[in-house]
Amino acid sequence: MLAIEKLSVSYGSVRALSDVDLEVRGDGLLHGIIGPNGAGKSTLLDAICGRRRPTSGRVRYCGEDITQRSISWRRRQGMARSFQRTSVFQNLTVLDQLKLVAQHLGDDQLDDVIEVMDLGGYLEQKAGRIAYGVQRRVDVALALIGRPRLLLMDEPGAGLSATETLRLFGHVRDLVRERGIAAVVVEHDVDAVFACCGMVTVLDLGRHLATGTPEAIRADHRVIAAYLGTAA
């Protein structure tokens, strides 16, 4: 589904990502990306979705090199993302914004998305006037419209309690499994990642440290030394 090849991204003289390789399969499993602050997790997501151009390396999606493709092109091809800082249309009602995007992407199953993200009670409210946790669900719902094949989520649990984070992860895990799509989740909450993700990649200082099942990652000495410590 998604293959990252020798991907590097620099911010001026600072190298945020260095020769990162990563493969994500579309087998209905969540793929978690973890690592300490400054590891390059969000930069990796930005480079995958086209928000930031890589300095070198390639992004392949469904076998095609899409490194130079625009954000909107990627979205229309089924690559969707949600944001660390909620990105919704604050002054539109929840229903209006979902419908606007659904009409554009030709998705006539908006009710499914509303049900999965449990937004039925908020449809007529402006997004800026609902609780932050619900706004995060709207953000994810916007990404789910159009039945994306690859879902990229940047810290979906940011600003949520541990319970809300686990609930949101549960929603997404079920959806990914039902649809057999791929999802990449960057998340600080290691417990949520290990509980819901089928595959985990660890980044450290912009480099790929390890990829494996949650069990393998918990037991990886390099990961324990660089990131997990006693947290695992």
Residues lying near another protein in the complex (CB under 8 A): 49, 70-72, 75-76, 80-81, 87-93, 95-97, 99-101, 103-105, 126, 142-143, 145-146
Q: Which is nearer to another protein, 18 or 43 (CB)?
A: 43
Decide whether 126 or 179 has the Cβ nearer to another protein: 126
**Least distance CB 162 / another protein (angstroms):** 27
Buried b or exposed e, range 193-213, using 16+ CB within 10 angstroms: bbebbbbbbbbbebbbbbbee
Amino acid at 76: R
Beta carbon nearer to another protein, 150 or 202: 150
Least distance from another protein to the Cβ atom of residue 107, Å = 10
What's the closest the beta carbon of residue 94 comes to another protein, in angstroms? Answer: 11
Under DSSP, is residue 150 helix (H, G, I), strand (E, B) or coil?
A: strand
Q: Which two tokens stand for residue 210?
A: 């390890």
Q: Determine the distance from the C-alpha atom of residue 50 to the mean position of all C-alpha atoms in its chain, rounded to a whole number.
A: 13
Q: Distance between the two ends of the chain, CA-based, in angstroms? A: 29
Q: How far is CA 65 from CA 5, 132, 208, 220, in A?
A: 10, 36, 21, 32
The CB-of-174 to another protein minimum distance in angstroms stands at: 23
Which C-beta is closer to another protein: that of 139 or that of 189?
139
Closest CB 75 distance from another protein, rounded Å: 4
- Residue 39 vs 80, nearer CB to another protein: 80
